[in-house]
Structure 1
Amino acid sequence: MDLTVNGEARTFGGDPDMPLLWYLRDELGLTGTKFGCGAALCGACLVHVDGVPSFSCITPMAVADGAEVTTIEGLSSDGSHPVQVAWRELNVAQCGYCQSGQMMQAAALLAETPEPTDEDIDAVMSQNICRCGTYPRIRAAIKRASGQEDA
């Protein structure tokens, strides 16, 4: 299987049913993507596959064949993506475990809906769980990243 991860061509010759998460973490060393629940319920493992938010814990490698995969490490090479900047400026992370998935979901939301309403944010971000409850800061950071200073 051939795929592109964070702009780099990669080849995988293993089990096509292996979750993409384990390939990213164990074989490529991209540990920003986290294992949370293993059942696509928490969002800690969220990456983009061909630009679409995908739960890497349940995405088999066969689905990634020929795809463009972006992890938190590939969102921007220097941390300058508007979502990453807003996250830092507003000190969104508390424990930080869920934050890479939260940021990947937020980046996908903003790519599709550049000026999301609170309802848009709530609908999309409800797929990601933050055990620390930083939801108000997450919403504020998404608003800031979108240029809406309602934050």
Structure 2
Amino acid sequence: MNPVRRRRLLWVMLLVLASGLATALVAMALQRNIAYLYTPSEVLRGDAGDHARFRLGGMVVKGSLQRAPGSLDAHFVVTDGDATLPVITSRILPDLFAEGTAVVATGRLQDGRFVAEEVLAKHDETYMPKEVADKMGQAHTKHDVPVPAPETY
């Protein structure tokens, strides 16, 4: 093989290697940022794993919200109609957060409680995130409990 072809082959191999490395690094970065949505029933069943970061979706149980005076700490319970899971957060809750409304929280399971890093609330009284509605509907169909379909726009 002459030197020109050898040099071209080397450059092509380096380019393929560099693009493969870049693809692998991007895939690893995206994998770490994925947060799957689970309902309290799925979390208690063990589907979410013990220390994995995930999203918890459901309804805030009425009468469960407790705030610590003088701090941002908040404790509340999320349900999917079949199971409940206590949630704690030290972050600011959204203005639309209220008991009896849909919520999606991102965080980790720790000592049987969900520690939320971020809490998202619905934007009006007729909205429930599609993923949460679908998951809650699946949970109720397993026990033959009818769940009204959420209104969508």
Q: TM-score with structure 2 length normalisation? A: 0.24
Higher helix share: 1
Higher strand share: 2
With a CA cutoff of 8 Å and minimum separation of 6, indicate the structure with the bigger relative contact order.
1
